[in-house]
Each structure stands twice: as structure tokens, then as C-alpha cells.
Amino acid sequence: SDSYSLLILPGDGIGPEVMAEVRKIIDWFQSNRGMRFDVSEDLVGGAAYDVHGKPITDETMAKAQSVDAVLLGAVGGPAYDNLDFSVKPERALLRLRKEMDLFANLRPAQCFDALADFSSLKREVVSGLDILIVRELTSGVYFGEPRGIHSDGNNPENEGGRVGINTQRYTSGEIRRVARAAFELARKRKNRLCSMEKANVMESGVLWREEVQWVHDNEYPEVELTHMYADNGAMQLVRRPSQFDVIVTDNLFGDILSDAAAMLTGSLGMLPSASLGVPAANGRPKAMYEPVHGSAPDIAGQGKANPIACILSFAMALRYSYNEGAAADELEAAVERVLAQGARTADLMGPEGGTPIGTAEMGDRIVAALSAG
Ligand code: NAD
Ligand code: IPM
Ligand code: MN
């Protein structure tokens, strides 16, 4: 069969540490399942800034556009926090998302039974939890114009004399396409979609609600659609998360709600994501996969990061970019077995404590679980 092209961008902090474990998984699938991956690797984020003076080069961008899938570790860190926005590590992520037009960001939050006691919520609240947040990723306040920090003239009523501006802007077309992606996913799951915005205070929220309803009424009338204000949604997510199946929301609300959802699963170190674009001629979308967590500067370089979010992100690549759904299931089941056997990185230490294993050992155990079938 043809080989699967993959661009690996390990990035900063714990990014390279968790990516090393994904490499072991890739090797396993090559050796044991007859898959062939054409893997290339490049710098991104602070690591690219150190070498090139920018967080991603045009060559890396072109490569990202040409492969079947991009897998990114994490970017950012204290050393780069005071750089200009145009060259900050985070800028590379935004550029990849925008230029590849990756408008649908899938952030599943699943609570593995073995971790139900590690969540900050009660076991009975999170047990069996399986929800999917679909975050709009290429528009909204992250990209709206005008933006910037300006002088406020000589306004005597403004102490400090400056204004910071960002613009929340959505077109109907941007809302409809991410709504369609969410309805499609809901249809393959429990057939329920909840859309979140703040239509009570924002015109963009009113448009969001109307357009999602329009897509429902015209194209997916059989999917059960509800609307919720995003602040109430945040509360409901921690109160009774199992009321949700698929949630669709904008770029900023989706960022915040998905971090909150992460804690339902026990740790931010567990949450994978897929960012999908418009399907190409071969029917497959442009795609980038990344853990939801960041570069975790507080634990970087210590070999104790949880690699599962990155490994599960690769599982999503198997499913959505390589059409290897059975292999994705196999990998997810191996992760679940390793957790059931009690393997825990430091972030997964529950109230009863225990001895954590390191990043590399967690990777090794998942490989062993794959081999054990
Ligand atoms: P973070 O996600 O890096 O860390 C938050 C907390 O979670 C930390 O205590 C960290 O130790 C812990 N944590 C995160 N991932 C973990 C893992 N795999 N295993 C164990 N513990 C883990 O968020 P932050 O501290 O707000 O941001 C740090 C840097 O990362 C910033 O520069 C930020 O901009 C960047 N960031 C990048 C991405 C990305 O690359 N996709 C996402 C979020 C934040
Ligand atoms: C995420 C991150 C990014 C975001 C940052 C690092 C640009 O928090 O992927 O969730 O805000 O989208
Ligand atoms: Mn985030």
C-alpha cells in the first residue's frame, strides 16, 4: 500500500518529550500492522524562533500543507512570553490553523473508568463520560480586525492612556460550516448537539444561534439541537456533563470550555484533539492533530509529562486522516488497558497517592499493551 505522510512538529517544553513516545507507537504500527509512514520532522514555536527568528518558516508551512497529517506537540514557554505577537511561538499554531483553514477542532473528553476517581469531580458525575467539543478554530475574536494596543489620545478619563482591542467577528458561512461538521459528528454518536454562545449580550452570538438553527432546520432536522449560553454551559459541564453529547461553540468559548472538560477526564494530560479543514479531492480533509495541553514549563525536562494526550491525538490521525479506524480503536484500547493496570504519570495521582511512572515508561507500557493485544 501507499505510505502515509506525516509531519511531526514537536515544539517546546514537554512537546518533544511526549512526541518521543508517539514515535514508539508509529514504529509499532509499522512493524506489526504493515503500515508505512513517511515521517518528516521540523521545528516549530520557540524552537524554530531560536534558529530562524520566527516561530514557523514558509518551508515548514508548505510542508504542512502537502502532507496527509501534521502532528504537533506543544509550543510556548516563559523565555518567549515577552516577544512581539508576530513572532511568539503561539503565532505558529494560529498560522497553521488559519492557512490550512482548519476550521473544525474536535476535542473529545472521555473519562476512562480507571481514572474516574482522579477527576476533581465525583466518580458518579464523570463515570462513563464521553462528550465531544467542536470548537470553531479559524475565526472569531482570535482573528477579527481591528485589533491592537493603541494610545487613547489625551483622554483624561483613561488612566494609563491606552486601549487594547480585539474583535469578535463571525460570518454566516463560517458558522454554517462548523455547524455542519458538528451535526455530522452528532449523527454518528448519540444524535444530540448543544450549541453555546452568548446571544443574550453579543450580536455575533445571535447570528451564531440563528445560523446553527438554520443548518438544523434545513439539513439535520433529525438531530436533537439545543442552545445554551456559554456561561451556563461552563456550569452545566461541571454540574452534569453527561447531559451533553456533542457541543459546538466559537473559538474563544471552545478554548475555555475544553480546558474545563479536560478536568472531567482526570487530567489535561489526557486530552487529544483533531483540527480538520475542507475535504480535498481525495475526500480527506487537511488535518493537524495536537494535545489540548501546552508546553507545561513547570514540568518540562523532567521526564514526567503524561504522553497520553499526544498518543491519543495520533489515534485520531489514524482514524480521520489515514482511514485506519481499527488501528485507532486498537491504540485507544491499549491506553485504556494500561490505565486499568494502574499505570499513572504524576498528573494522575489521585487522593490515595502511589508511585508515578515517567513519560518513557508510560509509552513503553502502551507499546507492550499493543503487543499483548
Ligand atoms: P499547560 O497546558 O502547558 O499547563 C497547565 C498545567 O497542566 C501545568 O501545571 C502543567 O504541568 C500541566 N500539564 C499540561 N500538560 C501535561 C501533561 N501532558 N502531563 C502532565 N501535566 C501536564 O498550560 P499553561 O501553563 O497555561 O501554558 C504554558 C505554555 O504553553 C504557554 O506558553 C502557552 O501559551 C502554551 N500553550 C500551548 C498550547 C499548544 O501548543 N497547543 C496549548 C496551551 C498552552
Ligand atoms: C489551545 C491553546 C492555543 C489557543 C494557544 C496556545 C494559541 O490554548 O490550543 O487550546 O488559545 O487556541
Ligand atoms: Mn487552550
Identify the residues whose C-beta falls under 6 Å from ligand 1: 14, 74-77, 90, 93, 268-269, 290, 293-299, 305-306, 309, 347
| pLDDT surpasses 60 at 326 | yes
User: Is the pLDDT score of 53 beyond 60?
Assistant: yes
Q: For residues 72 and 41, what is the distance between their CA atoms, to the nearest angstrom? A: 10
The Cα 293–Cα 74 span in angstroms is 7
Q: What is the pLDDT of residues 269-318, one digit of tens each?
A: 999 999 999 988 788 899 999 999 999 999 999 999 999 999 999 999 99
Q: pLDDT > 70: what percent of the chain?
A: 99
Above pLDDT 90, what percent of the chain?
90
Average of per-residue pLDDT values in the chain: 96
> Considering every ligand atom, which ligand is closest to the CA of 306?
1
Q: Residue 100 in contact with residue 286, Cβ under 8 Å? A: yes
pLDDT class of 1 with cuts at 50, 70, 90: low
* 231 classed as catalytic: yes
**Which ligand does the CA of 268 lie closest to?**
1
Q: What is the CATH number of domain 130-264?
A: 3.40.718.10
Q: φ, ψ for residue 165 (rounded to 5)?
A: -125, 130
Q: How far is the CA of 82 from the centre of ligand 2 (A)?
A: 17
Q: Which three cell numbers stand for residue 25?
A: 507507537
Are 344 and 306 spatial neighbours (Cβ–Cβ below 8 Å)?
A: no
Instruction: Give the pLDDT confidence score for residue 353 in this predicted structure.
Output: 78
Are 161 and 151 in contact by the 8 Å Cβ rule? The answer is yes
Q: Is 108's pLDDT higher than 60?
A: yes
3-state SS class at 10: strand
**Band (349; pLDDT cuts 50, 70, 90):** confident
Are 1-106+271-373 and 130-264 the same fold in CATH? yes
Q: What distance in Å separates the CA atoms of residue 366 and residue 20, rounded to the nearest whole number? A: 13
The verdict on whether residue 38 carries a ligand-binding annotation is no
Residue 2 banded pLDDT, cuts 50, 70, 90: confident
CA 142 to CA 275: how far, in whole Å? Answer: 16
Q: Where are the domains of the chain?
A: 1-106+271-373, 130-264
pTM: 0.95
Phi-psi region of 3 (alpha: psi -120 to 50; beta: other; left: phi over 0): beta
Give the sign of the dihedral formed by CA 308, CA 310, CA 316, CA 318: negative
pLDDT at 248 exceeding the cut of 90: yes
* 5-38 residue pLDDT tens: 999 999 999 999 999 999 999 999 999 999 999 9
Burial letters 51-74, b for 16+ CB under 10 A, else e: eeeebbbeebbebbeebbbbbbbb
Specify whether 255 is catalytic.
Answer: yes
Counting from 1 in the atom list of ligand 2, the atom nearest the Cα of 105 is: 9
Q: With b meaning 16 or more CB within 10 Å and e meaning fewer, what string describes 82-94?
A: eeeeebbbbbbbb
Per the CATH hierarchy, to which homologous superfamily does domain 1-106+271-373 belong? Isopropylmalate Dehydrogenase (3.40.718.10)
ipTM: 0.98
Determine which one of 12, 245, 255, 347 is catalytic. Answer: 255
pLDDT of 226 over the 80 cut: yes
